[in-house]
Structure 1
């Protein structure tokens, strides 16, 4: 009757792109982390479905038969535990704020990223953009957001990012309510 979750808050670059540690770059090496959920009655399986850390509270409440509270973000991953081919989300949205940059460090104040099954798009408050086709360029070597390499994919990714930012805006987040 015990649920076991193994995960991490971030990955490390480990030399990818000539970088070490986690830094502030939203490359797959930092974003993609292990997630193992062992739950009673569920068979072991692997999935390529998108998931986010924000989904863990929903998942645990769902597995325990406890109702989520109003205003929670994320979605339960329980359907994926039942069927590894299932999908519960089309995108993963990542927000990073770096208040230390206000002190003059050469970092952007904010970085926002959206990951889909096929692409990863990032944009920071300094205007730097990256867009990678994860199917054809899994090592993220060709930035499609520069030099007009794939303007249609860039516009589509920017549209998805804007939609995710609007959904996650502080004003649209509902406050938890007590019963």
Structure 2
């Protein structure tokens, strides 16, 4: 286990986390912000909209505060499919934090009845595409400069997450908020 995991805590995010999330975004590079959000800044209203549409978790470390964010929410036009968003601070990338967060979120989505993970991103977003391809076989659909990848959730969650589940418990079938 890397030092990043030894001191990293993950918890469900809510409206009161805006200040910590905003500070996290201010520490991220423009490239990182653009890859995740398609813009250089997001406001409180964007954060609240994300929370209404999805479940979000933050990963934090002492001294740095929030270092990563993952969100997962249902695609209304595709039953059983959830949309994934993940962002890791530039200084904490390539340590498995994003992978651990994706697996945690995927476990909750699977327990809530979803079966497929979807990500729509720029083809130039090599870090995200690499993470997804490492998680399992994906169906890839190209759309101009963007790509949509879909992965079976069972494959994503078949590996042990490096993070404990929210509040120290594994997701259950009663956990229907994904």
TM-score by length of 2: 0.27
- The structure that has the greater radius of gyration is 1
Bigger relative contact order (CA 8 A; separation at least 6): 2
